[in-house]
Structure 1
C-alpha cells in the first residue's frame, strides 16, 4: 500500500487510513489528521531503500506502542467545546505559544471562495506556525507556494475551521515539529503484518472481475466490508501516475499477480489515464457509502465537478465494465 503527497499543495489527501481506522477500531480523528497532513515518504528514500518506483508499503499496529516511543500526546478540540469564537482563537494561540503543533481541519461548509489557500485545502488539515496579535493573522507555511508563509485572518480561519488537533510532548524537552511527527507516523505504519494486507487485496482483485454490464445500468459488486476501503485507496491514492501502473506496483508488494491482468486490460482501453482513474474514483466513492448501487445516467448528472464530459465518462465506464 502506498501513500502519496499532493504534488501541488502542502497537504496529504490519501484514503487508506480510513480503512485502517475502521479495521483497528482506533481513533478516527487521529487517522483523519494523518491521512490529510502527515503520512508520506520522499521518493528518493523509497527508491533507494525499497527499490520501488511509486511508494512504500505502509503497515500499522497499535496506537499505544508508537505514542510511547515518541512521547507524543494529542487532543482534539471541536467548535462545540467552546462558548465563543474568541475562546477558540485564544486556545489556539495559547497552544502555539507554548510550543505545541496545532493542526486545523478546513471545513467546506464555511467556504466563501474568498481565500485561495483555504479554498484549495477544503477537507484537508493545515498546520499553524504562529499568530500575529497586532495584525490578527495566523501564519501557515506552504512549501508549494512562492510566498512560503501564508497569512490567514482569525475571522477567515473561524469560517473554515471544523476542529483542530494539538500535539504536545510528555517530556517538555522534546520539541514537537512536523518532521518528528512524520517520523512518528512512518515508524508506526511500518509494522503491519503482510497477511493483514494480502487477503483483502486479493478479494479486491476477485471483485473487480465481477462487474456486470447491461444496456440500462452497471451494477456494482457487493464488496466485503474491508475491501470497500482498500478499493477506495487504490483508486484515489495515486494522482501523479496512471492507475494501471499503480496496480502493477501493488503486485510487487503482495508477491503475486493479483492485479496484472486488470491493469493490462485497463491499459488497452484508453490512453487517457486521468479519465479512467476518475471513473473508478466515482465508483469507489459511492462504494464507501452503499454496498451496491445502480450506475446510470441520472447518477452521472450528479457526479463531482472533476468529471467534465459526462457522456464520454459513462461510455468509458461501460468499456471498463465489459472488459474486466
Structure 2
C-alpha cells in the first residue's frame, strides 16, 4: 500500500484551542435559522459538551455552514465530540426539513489555533464576523441563528433542546402505547456553557464583555463602511429567514486550510515544527506497520492506520 492519503488529525498535548468548520452538502441552506433549528443545534452541542467534557468558546452557524472555537485535550476527544455533533445535527435538522440524503459536504475541518493572545483573538474576531462579511446582516448580533455575538453580549449561557430518540423509539414500541406517546415528553432542555478565551481567563465577567463589545462594534463599523463604499445593503434578517433550506446556491470556492492559525510568523514556525516532528514519526511508523511489521510504536495522540490484509498460508480453498 502507498503512503497515507490524508494528514492525520493532530492536537498537541496537553490540549489546544481548535477552529472547527462543518459545511452542508452542495452548500444548501439546511441550517437556515429558525427557533426550532437554533434550539436543536444548541441542544446537540450542549449534550456533546456534557458527554465529552469539551470547552466551548464560541459557535456561529450560518445557513450552510458552522464554525466553532473549541478546546480539545487530544485528537480522540475531538473525533468523538465532532462525530456526535455532526451525526446528531444532521439527524435532527434533516428530520425537521424532511431531508433524506447526505447532510454534510464531508468530514469536519479543524485547524489548531496558536496559544498566544493575538492568534486567539484573531480567530474569535473571524468567527464574530460571520453573517456580516457575507453581506447578510449589518451587525453580528443581528444574525437570527446560533451566533457567538448575540450569546456573548447577553452574558448568559444559551439553552437548547436535546431529543431522546432512543427513549422515544422504545416508548413507541411498547405494546399499548400507540397514539399515547408525546414526543415532547422526550425533549430535554440543556445549557451550553461557554468558556472565556484562555488568553482572557484572567478578566472579570464585565471586562470580558467589554472586550467582546469592542470587537463587535469594530465589525459593525467595518461592515457599514464597506456597504457605503459598495453602495450596497445587507440582505437582512427577514430575507434570511425566508430562504428555502433546500436551496442550492453556487458553491463558494474554498481555499486550502492553513496548518495552524497564528497571528505571528514566530508562533506559526513553532507549531509547524512540532507538526513536522509528529508527521515524520507517524509516517515512519505507518510505513513499517503497513509493510507487516508487528509491534510498531506510533507517536502519542494519533489514530494508527488500518493494517495490511493477512493472507492465510497454504493453497486457496476449493
Structures share a fold, TM > 0.5?
no
Higher RCO (CA-CA < 8 Å; seq separation 6+): 2
| TM range, smaller chain | under 0.3
User: Of Structure 1 and Structure 2, which has the larger fraction of its residues in helix?
Assistant: 1
TM-score by structure 1 length?
A: 0.23
Task: Say which one has the larger Rg.
Answer: 2
TM-score by structure 2 length?
A: 0.24
